[in-house]
Amino acid sequence: MDKLELIEVSPRDGLQNEPNIVSTEDKLALIDRIVGAGFRRLEAASFVNPKKVPQMADGDAVFAGLPKRDDVTFIALALNPRGVERALAAGVTEINYVFCASDGFSIRNNGGTVEETFAVWPEVAASAKAGGARLSATISTAFGCPFDGEVAVSRVAEVAEKCAAQDIFELALADTIGVAVPSDVRERLLAVKAAIPSRVQLRAHFHNTRNTALANAVTAVEEGVRVLDGSLGGIGGCPFAPGAAGNVPTEDLIYMFGRMGFDTGIDLDRAIETAKFIGSVLGKPTPGMVSRAPRWPSI
C-alpha cells in the first residue's frame, strides 16, 4: 500500500479559533489520544502573540507537558523570530514557519507585507538550525485571500521560491479560507513544483469552508503530495479569516484514503473516539462526518 502521512493539527489550528479557551490539561489529554491513535507528527501549539490568539498562550506549558516519545514529532508554529526563539526555548525540534501569499492577510496575521516578512527569513532559518530544529514553511492564502480576493498562481510560485531559498525540508500550501477547488489545487501544485527544488517535500492544508476539502485532498495526492494536514472532528479555522468554518476532518481523510488503498498508519476507531473527545471538551458537535456515521467494514 502507498504510504500517506497525515499530520494532526487539532491541538493548534483546531483550537485557536474557539471562543472559549481550552485548558492546558485538556490539550495534553487530546494530544495523548492523538498519539495513541497512531499519529507520528502533530502540531502541538503555536508561539504567537497571546493578545491576538489567547487560545495559544500556553504553548510553553503544552510543550513542557508533552509525553517523552522518540517516535513522535511535536510541531510548533511560528510567525516571526520571537516565536521561533520561544519555540526553541521550549525544546521544539520542528518549527512550521508561516508566510502569506497576499499582503492583506499578511499584514493582519504576520504583522507586515509579504516582502517585509521575508526580510527576517534568513535570520529565522539560521536560528532554527542553531537551535537544532528542522524547519518547514507554510504559504497561507495560497488559494485566495479574504481581504485581497483572488491570488495569482504566479504569486504563489514566487512565494514558494522565496521559502525554498532557505534550508526547509517541507513546504505546505494552505487554503486558509476554503475557496479552492480541484483544478486550483492541480494548477498551483504544478507551478510550485516547477519553482522549488525536488528535495523539498510538498504538504497540503485544506479548510472545508465550502465543502471542497476532501476533493482537494484527493487532487493533491493525485499530483504526488504524500503529506496532508487534518483536524479531528473538522474543528478549527483562523482568527483572521472571517467566516472560517473548520478544517478537513482527519477521520474523513483516514476513511477515504484507506478505502482508496493508502496506508496512513492511523487507527480509524481511535481517531473517531478522539474526535468525539474533542466534541465533549468543546461542549458541541463537531463537523466531521465519519465520526457521526455508522461503522463500515474495516478499511
CATH of the domain at 31: 3.20.20.70
Q: What is the pLDDT of residue 299?
A: 72
128 falls within a domain: yes
What the block records as the C-alpha cell of 93 is 525540534
299 falls within a domain: no
Which residues make beta-bridge pairs with 96?
77, 136
70 falls within a domain: yes
- Contacts of residue 214, Cβ cutoff 8 Å, sequence gap at least 6: 208, 248, 252, 253, 256
66 falls within a domain: yes
Number of structural domains (the chain) is 1
Taking the CB of residue 40, how many other CB atoms lie within 10 A of it? Answer: 16
100, 145, 163, 238: which one is catalytic? 238
Q: What is the pLDDT of residue 244?
A: 64
pLDDT string in tens for the chain (299-residue length): 899 999 999 999 999 988 899 999 999 999 999 999 999 999 999 999 999 999 999 999 999 999 999 999 999 999 999 999 999 999 999 999 999 999 999 999 999 999 999 999 999 999 999 999 999 999 999 999 999 999 999 999 999 999 999 999 999 999 999 999 999 999 999 999 999 999 999 999 999 999 999 999 999 999 999 999 999 999 997 776 776 668 999 999 999 999 999 999 999 999 999 999 999 999 999 999 999 999 998 77
75 falls within a domain: yes
Q: What is the C-alpha to C-alpha distance for residues 124 and 118, in angstroms, rounded to an integer? A: 10
Q: Which residue has the cell 477547488?
A: 181
Give catalytic status of residue 145 as yes or no.
Answer: no
What the block records as the C-alpha cell of 141 is 492564502
> Residue 56: which domain range?
2-292
Q: What is the C-alpha to C-alpha distance for residues 210 and 57, in angstroms, rounded to an integer? A: 30
